[in-house]
Amino acid sequence: MSVEASREKFKTSLTQKGLRVTSQRLAIFEAAFARKEHFTAEQLLKHAKAIDDSVSRATVYRTLPLMVESHVLREVDIGSGEKFYLPDTGANTQVAQVVCVDCDKIFEISAPFMEWYGSTVSLKLGLKPVSQRLQVSAQCMAFRQHDRCPNHAKN
């Protein structure tokens, strides 16, 4: 899904909820879609402020759930204290994350079998599956030798 389509999706979602399309919300949207990797609320604030200095931390935290509900962003919690976000391309309902323990980089991989497995297991428990998430922790073999990762910069 293109950035343009996502922006429209977000605007439409806001309007349908009776919410307003404000400059701050748009600035946060643009900042989010300019990112190339997973980002945190704090990083998003920094970049949104660069676009529109009037954006505050509170508004970022209030806007993120709206974008997730609108399916323009996905939320990823790798259990590191803070949540990560990334654009929801629509094609990644069945993805898993591989987190490098050396550089904290998050790789998204396709995991088409997950949905089937989640359903099978949930139904066995008498539950209806809502979502599933697979997270793999791994280490950079090649860079263990150099004692550090190539992408060790944390932005």
Partner DNA sequence: CTGCCTGCAAACTCTTTGCACGAAT
Partner DNA sequence: ATTCGTGCAAAGAGTTTGCAGGCAG
Interacting residue ranges for its own copies, rule: CB under 8 A = 77, 79, 83, 96, 98, 100-101, 107, 109, 111, 113-114, 117-118, 121-122, 124-142
Residue 154 to residue 8: CA distance in whole angstroms: 31
Q: Which residues pair with 75 in a beta bridge?
A: 85
Backbone angles phi, psi at 23, to 5 degrees: -65, -35
**Binding at 58: pick from DNA, its own copies, none (beta carbon under 5-8 Å per type):** DNA
Cα 39 to its chain centre, rounded Å, is: 7
Q: Is 66 or 140 the residue whose CB approaches DNA more closely?
A: 66
Q: From the list 24, 92, 122, 132, which residue makes contact with DNA (rule: CB under 7 A)?
A: 24
Q: In terms of Cα–Cα distance, which of 54, 15, 58, 10 is closest to 32?
A: 10
Stretch that binds DNA, among 11-19, 92-100, 120-128, 131-139 (CB under 7 A): 11-19
Query: Inter-axis angle of helices 3-16 and 57-69, to 10 degrees?
Result: 100
Q: From the list 1, 12, 23, 90, which residue makes contact with DNA (rule: CB under 7 A)?
A: 23
Residue 6 one-letter amino acid: S
| Smallest separation, CB 11 to DNA (Å) | 9
Residue 38 to residue 40: CA distance in whole angstroms: 7
Q: Is 61 or 117 the residue whose CB approaches DNA more closely?
A: 61
**Binding at 18: pick from DNA, its own copies, none (beta carbon under 5-8 Å per type):** DNA
**Binding at 129: pick from its own copies, DNA, none (beta carbon under 5-8 Å per type):** its own copies
Strand order of the sheet with strand 84-87?
39-40, 84-87, 73-76
Give the footprint of DNA on this chain (CB under 7 A).
Answer: 14, 18-25, 40-42, 54-59, 61-63, 65, 81-83
